[in-house]
Amino acid sequence: MIALLFALAVGAAPPERSFFKPPIRQLPSQEQARRAVILCGLPSRSVSVRYEPDLQEDVVWVALRTGSLMERQLRCIASASLKTTYYVNFSDPAVQKRYDALFFQMESAAETVRSRDWLRERHLLAKLPLPQKGMPLSNYAEAVEAFCGIRRGTFLVARDERSITFTKDGLGKLTPRGIENAAASEAQFECVMAATSAADLRARGVFFGFVGNGAVRK
């Protein structure tokens, strides 16, 4: 999974989705994912599962001809999506917009909890670096690198005081043999993702992610 994220970073910016999905022992079946959404009070005939080429995975599709869903139903659907790991799309753009706002909020909160648990299990949570008010964001980026055992200034770069991304050279190059010459190992990459998620950067007004072609040159 981490290798795939490296490949995405080198090749192109991924869609505005979660950086990683929660580990599960076995992916729920299409019918289980469909039923989980139906249980939120939707007519069974309006819910289906289809393959989405852009995401390269199955997605639950909700097709409602009229009316809108209540917020509690949208939260229920978002919760089902997070539990089953199947994304949910709506035929009504207005409903999709309302749902996305709730889903990404819930997903971000879930990832923050999951990342803090990951760090706690490794006895790292107490040492987690956080952005410091009044200090350059580049200081925080370098603190995360050091926290994960990466040489400072080789993997992360603060584009400005509100966003952090990956350095071009830090991500390495995608070759037929895989990713080569990256500044971080897969384990270190996973640490960076956990550290930045656990810090809840979005709530602090900081964007962290891929930019443009995946990274910028420092």
Residue range 83-126, pLDDT digits in tens = 999 999 999 999 999 999 999 999 989 999 999 999 999 999 99
Same domain, 102 and 86: yes
CA distance from start to end of the chain: 26
Same domain, 79 and 135: no
Counted residue by residue, the chain has a size of 218
Range(s) of the domain holding residue 145:
128-208
Same domain, 163 and 198: yes
Same domain, 84 and 161: no
Handedness of CA 92, 94, 98, 100 (dihedral sign): positive
Same domain, 164 and 116: no
In a domain? residue 93 = yes
| Residue 25 confidence class, pLDDT cut points 50, 70, 90 | low
d(CA 212, CA 6): 15
In a domain? residue 8 = no
- The pTM for the full model equals 0.69
In a domain? residue 21 = no
Kind of pairing between the strands at 57-62 and 47-52: antiparallel
Give the highest mean pLDDT range of 17-26, 60-69, 163-172: 163-172
User: What is the number of structural domains in the chain?
Assistant: 2
- Give the pLDDT confidence of 44-97 residue by residue, as tens digits: 999 999 999 988 899 999 997 656 789 999 999 999 999 999 999 999 999 999
Q: Cα 123 from chain centroid?
A: 23
47 vs 22 pLDDT, higher one? 47
In a domain? residue 180 = yes
Same domain, 48 and 109: yes
In a domain? residue 11 = no
Same domain, 87 and 157: no
In a domain? residue 175 = yes
